[in-house]
Amino acid sequence: MHSSPTIAVVIPNYNAERYLAATLRSVLAQQGAFRLEVLVVDDGSSDGSVAMLKRDFPEVRVIEQPNAGVAAARNAGIAAATAEWVAFIDADDIWLPGKLQAQLELLDACGDAVRMCSTGWHVWTTQSVEPPEDLLRELAARVSGVPVHAAEAARTAWRYTELLQDCVVWTSTVLAQRSLLRELGGFDTALRVGEDYDLWLRASRLTPIARLDAPLALYRHHGANITHRAPERNFKGEVVQRAIDRWGYQGPDGREASRTAVHAGLSRSWADFAGAQLLAGRRRRALPAACRAVRLKPSSLLGWTVLCKSLPGLLLADKADPGRTPQA
């Protein structure tokens, strides 16, 4: 790795004025042997976040675009970046001190074959803007207790089979080569949800993804980032199924994923999707999804429960889409 690598930090923003300044402070406070390029891509915000950025953070490059979704915003940031490495953080999340330097040291120890890494994270349920000092001290103690075994991280870093079972990579912890992201074609803008999961699956076919287990980022869980509407598509199920259809269950390292475990995860995603449709009064949308959940895992109690509750949809009008039975 270059003795003084450059890192572009890409931050998509959509009406995140309340939290964005705290996120940026955690990014700009990162210290280490690297040069930082910070890009905020505003995705058609209607609040005062762009004005705040231009007033309070002149060192940050602001890219403005009409609202096109988080995938398009991140892609715009990747395209505008000039740095060798790209890190991502959402506009309401927080990095802990030393996050980027720890990742660079891990990548340097792993060697050139590893083009991407991630870290652990801590879910922070709060309405506060800034993290409390006691939480930061607690996490710093946990970080110092996690040893870094770079050679082991490199050997076990082929993540495809793990990713088929669950999204074990979180976007706000990722550091990846810009050349890798461009080779992959960036995030899929056709996916309004799960675009990050899809990209990590595709990346896992080309490179090991090293990981620091230390919780070096805070995922802010608050009312504004909770989706209350029933989803129109099971994006998680679609992303995983698309990967299986394309590459099967075997990773580039020759390891085979447990089909039972993968199908159990897929079954849960379809059962959850069906349950959300039921809560929205869309019984006829729920039925085919529940059937798919049971086919994937015949012993799924949740799948059968949702299926039984969906059966009246054959007789009752669907409140959202009368007479329509979409494909699962």
SS3 per-residue string spanning 37-88: EEEEEEECCCCCHHHHHHHHCCCCEEEEECCCCHHHHHHHHHHHCCCCEEEE
- Tokens at residue 172, please? 């706000």
In a domain, 328, yes or no: no
> Same domain for 205 and 262?
no
Picking from 107, 134, 99, the residue whose alpha carbon sits closest to that of residue 26 is 99
DSSP letter at 30? -
Model pLDDT, residue 145:
58
Model pLDDT, residue 322:
45
Q: Which domain holds residue 296?
A: 235-314
Mean pLDDT of 20-42: 96
> Same domain for 184 and 303?
no
Mean pLDDT of 165-185: 97
The pTM for the full model equals: 0.90
Mean pLDDT of 132-136: 83
The span from the CA of 120 to the CA of 36, in Å, is 22
Model pLDDT, residue 148:
57
In a domain, 22, yes or no: yes
Model pLDDT, residue 44:
97
> Same domain for 251 and 307?
yes
Decide if 293 contacts 274 (C-beta within 8 A): yes
Rounded to the nearest integer, the mean pLDDT of the chain is 89
* Number of domains into which the chain is organized: 2
Give yes or no for residue 203 having a pLDDT over 90.
Answer: yes
> Same domain for 95 and 211?
yes
Confidence label for 84 from pLDDT (cuts 50, 70 and 90): very high
Residue found under tokens 């870093």: 157
Give yes or no for residue 62 having a pLDDT over 90.
Answer: yes
Confidence label for 82 from pLDDT (cuts 50, 70 and 90): very high
> Same domain for 130 and 265?
no
Model pLDDT, residue 323:
40
Burial category of 166 from C-beta neighbours within 10 Å (exposed 0-12, middle 13-18, buried 19 and up): middle
Give yes or no for residue 143 having a pLDDT over 90.
Answer: no
> Same domain for 193 and 270?
no
The span from the CA of 105 to the CA of 202, in Å, is 24
CA 198 to chain centre: 9
Give yes or no for residue 328 having a pLDDT over 50.
Answer: no
Q: Residue 315's beta-bridge partner residues? A: none
Give yes or no for residue 325 having a pLDDT over 70.
Answer: no
Domain boundary among 161, 193, 225: 225
Mean pLDDT of 109-124: 91
Give yes or no for residue 54 having a pLDDT over 90.
Answer: yes
Model pLDDT, residue 125:
81
Model pLDDT, residue 137:
82
Mean pLDDT of 54-70: 97
